[in-house]
Amino acid sequence: MSFATVPDLILEPMIRNALLEDLGSYGDVTTRAVIPAGATYSAKLNAREDAFVSGMQVAALTFRLVDPTLEITTHIADGQPCRKGDVLMTINGKAASILSGERVALNYAGRLTGIATKTASFVAEAKGTNARVTCTRKTTPNMRLVEKLAVLHGGGHNHRYSLSDAIMIKDNHIAAAGGVRQVLEATKQHASHMMAVEIEVDRLDQLQEVLEVGGASVVLLDNMSNDLLRKAVEIVNGQIKTEASGNVKLDRIASIAATGVDYISSGALTHSARTVDLGLDF
């Protein structure tokens, strides 16, 4: 499967800020001190464990921002599996430029490959069902775009990107507004016809009220047991989409998917992913 890339123009400010953070106020003083100005090298970005790759576009752009003359070849693209020892990318050109961009490129690539790999493990557990595995807004500040891309690279799907993408009525909204009926009636009055509406419930009587009042296109079934999820799916009977969320761990994915829900969302895909070990070797 191939994946569309985000325009570099969108990614550039985030990566530029990371480079400025790493280079400090005076640049890479070690490299400037010990590497001859004209020295060139060919470096390899290697996988040190099996994984699903993400962050290659980001890593390549990192090196290009440091030095546009670097020649970068990606050998295993974002969204593809790799094995321990595989060469993911080669970077040819000035050794000083490669060294100055190394850490930022590896930080991004390792983090994003970890998210893609974790996502792939969740998706594998839901195989054979119609359930889609999605992420949440539990992302690293200023890295949401690339972390959500990494979820796609692992075979998952994206939830909303920001608070402005959809109306998502959570338990605190319901409590503050006075109840399920009140929030749904208010939404009907104020929501654009182009705006999707999702509402969270944690009891079946709330679900019944959602269906009775109408106005929602998705219901989030929060922290429900598998038995309750199965009953909820039966009650909904295809009228709106169903999403299971809360306490969603790898060992529960298969059983949750078997209940018939349409979506399974998990913040763990992004907030609990382990950074994969990648290395840049000269």
Check residue 1 and give its pLDDT.
55
Average pLDDT of span 256-281: 97
pLDDT band at 2 (very low <50, low <70, confident <90, very high): low
Residues 230-251 pLDDT 10s: 999 999 999 999 999 998 999 9
pLDDT band at 28 (very low <50, low <70, confident <90, very high): very high
200 is an active site residue: yes
Name the active-site residue from 170, 181, 231, 252: 170
231 is an active site residue: no
Cα dihedral 154, 158, 162, 168 sign: negative
Per-residue pLDDT at 4 exceeds 80: no
Question: Percentage of residues in the chain with pLDDT exceeding 70?
Answer: 99
SS3 89: strand
Per-residue pLDDT at 205 exceeds 90: yes
Check residue 146 and give its pLDDT.
97
Residues 36-95 pLDDT 10s: 988 999 999 999 999 999 999 999 999 999 999 999 999 999 999 999 999 999 999 999
| Count of CB atoms situated within 10 Å of the CB of 85 | 10
Query: Which residue bears the tokens 């075979």?
Result: 155
Name the active-site residue from 16, 44, 103, 160: 103
Total-model pTM = 0.95
Average predicted confidence (pLDDT) for the chain: 96
Name the active-site residue from 22, 67, 185, 222: 222
At position 185, the amino acid (one-letter code) is E
Average pLDDT of span 90-110: 98
188 is an active site residue: no
Q: Give phi and psi for 12, each to the nearest 5.
A: -55, -45
Residues 126-182 pLDDT 10s: 999 999 999 999 999 999 999 999 999 999 999 999 999 999 999 999 999 999 999
Check residue 37 and give its pLDDT.
86
111 is an active site residue: no
Q: How far apart are CA 100 and CA 9, in angstroms?
A: 21
Name the active-site residue from 28, 78, 102, 200: 200
243: which residues sit within 8 A by CB, 6+ positions away? 134, 198, 218, 219, 220, 221, 261, 262, 263, 264, 265
End-to-end, the C-alpha distance of the chain in Å comes to 31
| Count of CB atoms situated within 10 Å of the CB of 153 | 28
138 is an active site residue: yes
